[in-house]
Amino acid sequence: MADSLISRFDAVLSDLDGVVYAGPHAIPGAIEALQRLASVGVGLGYVTNNASRTPAQVAAHLRELGAPAEDHQVVSSSQAAGELLASLLPAGAHVLITGSAALAHEIELVGLKPVHSATESPVAVVQGFNPDIGWKDLAEASYVVAGGAMWFATNTDMSIPQARGMAPGNGTLVAAVAAATGKSPLVAGKPEAPLFHAAAKRLKADRPLVVGDRLDTDILGGNRAGYATAAVLTGVDTKHTILAARTDERPDYLLANLEDLYAPYPGIIDDGGSFRCGSASAVADGGTVTVTGEEGDLDAWRAACAAWWAAVPYASTAQAPRLEWRTH
């Protein structure tokens, strides 16, 4: 285990959907990989943008799947929002809840007063995902925000995976209020840093590794927090979208799944513009990356990422190169 990737870190801060489970089922090998962390002395925390369930409910679901999960190991965007509001508002301040009972509970825990109507004189609005939110809820939030109240969002994920496909996430509901008011909220969850900092602090971790399947939330947030990041290919983003990633969303490591944490991570060697990883190599020339290796070999994609990112170090939007594959 001394040369495994996980040996470089003292904790894993793991996303849930797309990393640990997909829908109601655990991702093959994920539970076993999480269980092994304790045996190698590595802490484990779960970071979730889901503001519709309490951390205790999330932990209970994880335990049902067989994953190691005490309640305190789950850090939610609702908790991060609560801490953020408490740092900016006086105790007892009225906060309009546009979200779930779980979100209201976290606001209560930090000494603030959850309310549900503009008539109760809220000085702030906090918006989190709740599948039961309707037009009237969004309208109430808009009235209060337009009236000058502080506005917070637990997270701004534009989509949320469901059994039938991708559905609108909290970000789409936040966007509705933004469109109505012309204002923008302070965001507590991914892709902002507070959620990751709160999780690392709880675990007393100095060298955490953020593991996620989404560039725009997990990887961007981990990078903003100043932590190492690893993208796994068991969820939303793919080898192609990771290769094309904008600078702020590029992970430090590319993994097939959580089991890869226990394998040695191959070094990338820059040989005069040719980037080698394992037996594969890649060269970027203009808008083309020529890869020598097998398309099914993850090392080939690691080499391609290294070559392309070196050629385009500053990308504010996703840019995909043309790929040419050559066998050895």
> Catalytic site residues?
15, 17
d(CA 46, CA 58): 9
CA distance 323 to 328: 16
Q: What backbone torsions phi and psi does residue 218 show, to the nearest 5 degrees? A: -65, -55
Sheet harboring 274-277: ordered strands across? 268-271, 274-277, 280-285, 288-292, 322-326
Place of tokens 């600078």: 247
Alpha helices, DSSP H only, in the chain? 30-36, 55-65, 77-88, 101-109, 135-146, 170-181, 194-203, 220-225, 239-243, 298-311
Structural contact between residues 163 and 22, judged by C-beta atoms closer than 8 angstroms: no
Helices 77-88 and 194-203 cross at an angle (nearest 10°) of 100
**Token digits for 296?**
């099914």
The CA-based dihedral angle spanning residues 203, 207, 213, 214, taken in that order and rounded to the nearest 10 degrees: 100
Amino acid sitting at position 252: D
In this structure, the dihedral spanned by the alpha carbons of residues 225, 226, 231 and 236, taken in order and rounded to 10 degrees, is 30
Place of tokens 């203009």: 286
Gyration radius (Cα) of the chain, Å = 21
